[in-house]
Amino acid sequence: MCLSHEVLTAAYQGFLDQLTDAGLLIPSGVPGVYGHSGVFERVLEGFDQSITRRSAHLNAEVIRFPGVLNRQHYLKTSHIESFPDLMGSIHSFTGNERDHLGLLQKRADGEDWTQDLKPTQLMLTPATCYPLYPTATGTLREGGRTVDLRSFVFRHEPSIDPCRMQMFRMHEAVRLGSPEQALAHRGLWMELGKEILNAAGLNVECVVANDPFFGRGGRVMAVSQKEQSLKFEMVIPVATAEKPTAIMSCNYHLDYFGKAFGIHTADGQVAHSACMGFGLERVTLALFKTHGFHPDRWPADVKHELGL
């Protein structure tokens, strides 16, 4: 169905207003950036614990990176080619006291003081699994690796859609190994992910999807990604019933990260990888949309599942 821009905008704004009126989100003055209430956080963390509990049998290694990425590692990926508009590059002031006076003068004069800053060694993390691969350079142990990750990620796409935040939390499980192991991981999580979401009362649908590649060249890549069925998303109506929102994805990367970071399997092949990721804020918003804004009135089985 093709929705007009106006209809969608009204739906997003309406849902956002409901969320801020209810005190679940606190506006920051920047689209896509909010404070979250204690109730919002309790639901988010409750769902996160449900992921952990229901995937405990996978015995994944747990690693947590802060939401920043070594700039050199960023540049070993093709993110700057494929998603330049989403990037977050961290800049800081590295000058002396005289330079500082110049910076303050520019600011006082209403000039662009930010051009006086220098890029740091860091980028914001575009997806939770990015910082893992550079630490896996070399040869994997027999059987490969399964890693459980969670972090904030940044995507520069200011929007009034409450589901499209600029800084949000993603819980991922990554598999590094043979093509078969990577695909099995993705298949497993397409089932398990649905099970976890269903247990929270979210009736998601699984669809083939593509990433938002930049520009005209990007459209070709999107088509290719879809044709190869590399990406699946679990979608559910959140702000509007007509355009469902992806709240989880299951991705097969082929040997993309294995090549970029020199990761090999125990038998010397370039490693393949797959990841699944829950968008924790999106899942939380889907829970509020589906069950209402008062968790104490949610179905008993959902409250039990989320420890509420």
CB atoms within 10 A of CB 126: 21
Name which of residues 201 to 230 contact a second copy (CB under 8 A).
214-216
Q: Which is nearer to a second copy, 113 or 256 (CB)?
A: 113
> Residues 14, 66, 143, 307: which binds a second copy (CB under 8 A)?
66
Tell me which residue has tokens 């997003």. Answer: 12
Q: Which stretch binds a second copy (CB under 8 A): 74-82, 171-179, 221-229, 252-260?
A: 74-82
**Least distance in angstroms from the C-beta of 194 to a second copy:** 26
* Cα angle: 204, vertex 208, 213; to 5 degrees: 115
The answer to whether 81 contacts a second copy (rule: CB under 8 A) is: yes
Q: Which is nearer to a second copy, 66 or 143 (CB)?
A: 66
**Least distance in angstroms from the C-beta of 99 to a second copy:** 9
> Residues 46, 88, 126, 193: which binds a second copy (CB under 8 A)?
88
* Cα angle: 140, vertex 49, 44; to 5 degrees: 115
Q: Which stretch binds a second copy (CB under 8 A): 128-136, 205-213, 229-237, 283-291?
A: 128-136
Comparing CA positions, the residue from 171, 158, 135 lying closest to residue 51 is 171
The answer to whether 156 contacts a second copy (rule: CB under 8 A) is: yes
The answer to whether 106 contacts a second copy (rule: CB under 8 A) is: no
> Residues 18, 135, 139, 290: which binds a second copy (CB under 8 A)?
135
CA distance 92 to 287: 38
The answer to whether 256 contacts a second copy (rule: CB under 8 A) is: no
The answer to whether 20 contacts a second copy (rule: CB under 8 A) is: no
The answer to whether 196 contacts a second copy (rule: CB under 8 A) is: no
> Residues 12, 15, 133, 154: which binds a second copy (CB under 8 A)?
154
With beta carbons less than 8 A apart as the criterion, state whether 285 and 238 touch: yes
The answer to whether 92 contacts a second copy (rule: CB under 8 A) is: yes
Strands 231-236, 272-279: pairing kind: unpaired
Q: Which stretch binds a second copy (CB under 8 A): 84-92, 191-199, 262-270, 287-295?
A: 84-92
List b or e across 49-83, with b for residues whose CB sees 16 or more CB atoms inside 10 angstroms. ebbeeebeeeebeeeebebbbeeebbebbebeebb
- The count of residues interacting with a second copy (CB under 8 A) is 70
CA distance 95 to 103: 9
CA distance 73 to 284: 31
Contacts of 250 (CB under 8 A, 6+ apart): 186, 189, 190, 193, 231, 232, 233, 274, 275, 276
Q: Which stretch binds a second copy (CB under 8 A): 106-114, 170-178, 182-190, 248-256?
A: 106-114
Interacting residues with a second copy (CB under 8 A): 26-30, 33-38, 40-41, 61-70, 72-73, 75, 80-81, 84-94, 97, 100, 103-104, 107, 112-115, 117, 119-122, 124, 131-132, 134-135, 148, 152, 154, 156, 158, 165-168, 214-216
